[in-house]
Amino acid sequence: MRSSALLVLLAGCDVVAGVEIERAPCDAGSFADVATSDLVAATGFSLSWDRDLIVYLTDTGAFQQRLPGGDAIAIDLGIYDVGEPALAPEGDALFYTQQIEPPLVVAALRAGTSWTFDGVAPAGSFAGTPSSPEFGPRRVLVRVAMGGAVQEYEQDGNAWVPVGALQAVDSTIAPNLTPSGLDMVFASRDGVLVAHRASVDEWFGEPLLIQPGEHQFPQLLDRCRELYTLDQLVVRRYAR
């Protein structure tokens, strides 16, 4: 992902496209018994930072849609079956998994409604949503193989460099990062969990359960005041 070519941000600004900048781990409390709303039917999804773009998968292919109320637009992500979309916070780049053997993370860059495949992807099978370059070089968590450990990477120009040791995380696919890179969220057998860290120089603390039940592709946005998950093949928004 080449963030510098796609997005120019003003140093020290507090708002990007009307979105509050996160400069510390967020406060992700429980989402039990909060208001919910449904977005689209899907088998997988990912949202941009300001929640104005969703990329999602169905049994008939991949789509992008402006929110709220935009039209679904089919997108071409190559000849292989696609899984595990992970959109960059700015909505200009996408990781996803080619369903081959072994599964492979690839990257695409967005220009309007079309995507090109000249993005650079970290090595592995499943990638989560990366952090934003507003907070320094992008970070991303990647599951290196089906059922394997998670490796954190940092973007260095057009390369992704491993950071730290492999980590065991109780999730099927890779955890998602919030835009700051200081929070990771993932779905386990117990429900949706979040873990925080004070700095990208350290690994995350003990995960906390924020939503019990069966969920997929959980994503925390708006300073962790909004949780999005795939519930029974519907993208659902939980708002505190």
* pLDDT (tens digit per residue) in 98-111: 999 999 999 999 88
Phi/psi of residue 133, nearest 5 degrees: -70, -5
Decide if pLDDT at 1 tops 90.
no
Instruction: Identify the pLDDT of residue 35.
Output: 93
Taking residues 184-202, what's their average pLDDT? Answer: 95
Taking only the tens place, the pLDDT of each residue in 121-149 is 999 999 999 999 999 999 999 999 988 89
Q: pLDDT-based confidence at 199, cuts 50/70/90?
A: very high
Rounded Cα–Cα distance for residues 137 and 156 (Å): 7
Query: How is the chain split into domains, by residue range?
Result: 28-239
Give the SS3 label for residue 142.
strand
Q: Contact, 9 vs 133, CB < 8 A?
A: yes
Q: Quickly list DSSP for 33-92.
A: T-EEEEEEE-SEEEE-TTSSEEEEEETTEEEEEETTTPPPEEE---SS-EEEEEE-TTSS
CB neighbour list of residue 87: distance below 8 Å, 6 or more residues apart:
46, 47, 48, 53, 55, 93, 94, 129
What tokens were used for 77?
């992500």
Which CATH number does 28-239 carry?
2.120.10.30
